[in-house]
A and B are shown apart, each in its own frame.
Chain A
Amino acid sequence: MTLFVHAADIHLDSPLKGLYQDESAPDPEEIRGAARAAFDKLVDLVLSEGAPLLIIAGDLYDGDWKDFSTGLYFASRMRKLAEEGVRVAVVRGNHDAENKMTKSLVMPENVRIFPSRKPETWILEHLNMALHGQSYPRRDVTENLALDYPEPVPGMLNIGILHCLISGAEGHLPYAPCTSDQLAAKGYDYWALGHVHEPAVVRKTPLIVYPGCIQGRHIRETGDKGCALVEREEDGLSVEFVPLDVLRWMALETDASGADSVDRVVSIFGDVFEERIANLDGRVCCVRVRITGCCPVHGRLLADPDTVVANIKAMAAEVSGGRAWIEKVEIRTAPEIDLAQLAESDTPQGELLRYMDEIESCENPFELLNADFSSLKAKLAGTDVSVPEDDAAQLLRDARDILLTMLADMESREERS
């Protein structure tokens, strides 16, 4: 019997990142409102499974999202659930704590948004459940909220709802930090958590679960995304993860070792990609391609990335039937020639390479090269685009390889002509 559906980190209407739309890109309608489509699937799942309760454990919206239609959309879906008698329990997380829109939006009566002042218990008599929860009063909650959660209600199924970071998870801000032992000590039957975007069952007894986000929004959110479906079994509760995402993010490594032409690299990519998209069930996918390996075509890839990207996009369109976005193509190949050996030679090229090494090891290589990007920086102000000065070593290596390839290319081109 389905007891409830547990979701979190929905980030409604938050935009997908890094998808540049050009001629070879798929129909943008395919990704229009992907987050809403995934949310619709969540609502449909609740209804089709006959779940009487939906729990949303924080970050329903993004804090800086100002489009009121997002809130209205959410309210409309909640009404749909209300018509079927489904209750919805919501806590606010770090992202939606400060969203003014959510505060002024009137929700239907089946929705309970937990207060931020202190934790509260919502008793659902007809379900014999006690839900305990607390919203974030502000973005940066660094204290352990779980400690103040109420005692379990005897004879009922007790569920704790909390947006927090369990110590040990990486890559997330340490909000409302706590440990799984602390949560387990509360004596609840289930902890419905939010904040970590990867689904995870942190502990089996009692169940402490992160359902992950329902739809990935950028390349760091790859793999299945969805919610947790909680059922009552003879010997307790069971959790099943149900994918809801309509668009899948994917990081794809293409080993181009030994490739001597752009065509060959693209062909290798095509083979790898075809294998990877076989089990996507027709979902649109967004792919970051990372080309690696030592290959003769290395410099050409760097010198003319536009051609590489265009060809990769065309191949992706062909293999996926026009259902793949290429988010980015990272060229991380290495030259096949032995640069270390060339650097030892008493030639101008050797001199160039030795000079490169010197620059790399110096503290401020840009200054040494009189490479002043201030006018570009001025133009870029306020666009979220920046001059990537942090990774100077990689930039210099790429610049060196572009240079060496361009010199060699011009030589051979002129000799042919």
Chain B
Amino acid sequence: MILPLILFALLVQPAPPQPADSPAITDTLVKEQRSLQSLELVDADPEEHGRVAVGSRLIRRLTFVNKLDREVFVEVLSTTCGCTKASFDTLTVGPASYVALTAIVDVAATPGPQMQTVRFKSSWNVADETGVCAVKYEPEIDYETLPSMIRRSAPAGSNLQLNTWVHWPGEVAKRQRIHDLSCSLPGFSHGAVRAITDGPNVLAVQFSGAVPPPGAYRGDIYFQVDPADKPVRVPVFLRSLAPWVATPGGAIFDGPLTVCAVELKPDQPSAQPSAIRLRNPDAPIRAFLEPADAAKSVRTLRVERSGELTTCGGTVIEVLDSDGNILVLIPVAYFALPREP
């Protein structure tokens, strides 16, 4: 095989600090050259693999001979990607002996031309040097979808658009290739395929709806992209934010304190608090909403424990607007006080 030296990029770098028991390094090479001082490439598989199937495995093997009159030590320093593994078949190479470096790339669904590299080091008693070998390829991808999952936070009651994107590398997108749209989040059943004004090879699958009451929700977006036979599934995790926020976030009674003031303020335009509801009416907790001050947007919630606490537990205070919508949730924890001896 013709030596594909032109494909073999070499960079020689300063050596990292050596362990104390390593031979002293008296000279560090800092220059570029077409082959390493210690190793000469004598055989190599092609660097360029062209278009390859996603999920396939590429293997590139390079064979070197030790040109020095002494033993050299070889090791792989790094690879550019977790998809790439590399190893030498031996770690010690005698004079005029051969050593093989094998690089293995598991092809991921990343569009466009890809290059993975392996950095390795050759060292001997007075110096060391670094080499690089590359594997080039282009995954065969009809299209890609993104993101792989949607995590959104949005105010309760607001209108929200959930977007998923389909990208056809090098191809103008056509709407009819996407069909059977569905979304299992409540209130987000209506989907549409939209184009991007200045992105001719991208389409967006959009679902719009109103954000449900405060809490955490999950669902899935599904759609079919021809000619694939399986639908695309994109999990959706939606955190619906309360329209008001509380500082502190809740009330804790674990000592002599009997009253806790919680400051409430709107986090977004919304109605005023007008009522409160205790989820566990048996809890030894009472709460009062102090009268509104027209000059301030902030409201105060007074939370009190009733009597001496003899049990532990928790409850939640719901702060509501006049229509009964939840504006903010206030958790309350209470701990039994130590008994007198």
Report whether chain A binds chain B.
no
> Which residues from chain B sit less than 8 Å from chain A, CB to CB?
none
